[in-house]
Amino acid sequence: MDFDWTRGFLLDFSVTDGLSQRAGSTKRRLSQMKGMYADAEAFEREVAGGDPVVYEFYELGTPEDSGDLAFGTSITYPGKVGNEYFMTKGHFHTVLETAEVYYTLSGEGCMLLENPEGDVALHPMIPGNALYVPKRYAHRSVNTGKVPLVSFYVFRADAGHNYATIETRGYRKLVVEGPGGIPVMMDNPKWGH
Ligand code: NI
């Protein structure tokens, strides 16, 4: 990629016209999230039925320097596994004391936060609204709507991603479709296993 990290650059962030021409996306299919959804039967059914792309994100290859800012776009697609909404894996930052900003561009959803001490928070993601993810909190986007949930993110470029903690232990809470189609949090029956 030919971004000028030294002297600055301008980038068209519309995914179809600009970003996809200049940056690579990483796609996560449902089969890559084994064990993360509560309903194992529904999970296997969805994987066998086409293994949908659950989310993808665009990264620009920012130099991993503490003075740089990494930014890009995250897209979580609509769908459910049983009554649990499509979501990202979620991660802590390797440098745990690193915050992040998500600015929602389109769609409807929420961000599930959890710190190592077990404090949990759920914030709505609303187009035109910026969400501050504080340092020390793992963050996961959840699409509770019918169209892709698209957000712009930016964080300190040397923070890194720690996916392993979530992959091994899971989140304490899940976000599922409750009565009347309203998203609700519930305890993750698999947490810690
Ligand atoms: Ni992050």
Would you say 155 and 134 are in contact if contact means Cβ atoms under 8 Å apart?
no
Is 44's pLDDT higher than 90?
Answer: yes
**Domain residue extents for the chain:** 16-187
Q: Give 20's pLDDT tier (boundaries 50, 70, 90).
A: confident
Residue written as tokens 């599930």?
A: 112
Rounded distance from Cα 131 to ligand 1 centre (Å): 12
Is the predicted pLDDT of residue 100 greater than 90, yes or no?
yes
Distances in Å between the alpha carbon of 110 and those of 21, 76, 97, 118, 130?
Answer: 28, 11, 22, 18, 12
Q: How far is the CA of 159 from the centre of ligand 1 (A)?
A: 8
How many angstroms separate the alpha carbon of residue 49 from the centre of ligand 1?
A: 30
pLDDT at residue 50 is higher than 80: yes
Q: By three-state DSSP, how is residue 68 classified?
A: coil
% of the chain residues with pLDDT over 70: 99
Looking at the domain that runs over 16-187, which CATH code has it been given? 2.60.120.10
pLDDT confidence of residue 1 = 57
For the segment 33-47, the average pLDDT, to the nearest whole number, is 96
Q: Residues 6 or more apart from 169 whose CB is under 8 A from it? A: 191, 192
How far apart are the CA of 48 and the centre of ligand 1, in A? 30
Report the 10 Å Cβ neighbour count for 103: 17
CA of residue 180 to ligand 1 center, whole Å? 32
Least confident piece of the model among 45-49, 55-59, 127-131, 189-193: 189-193
Mean pLDDT computed over every residue of the chain: 95
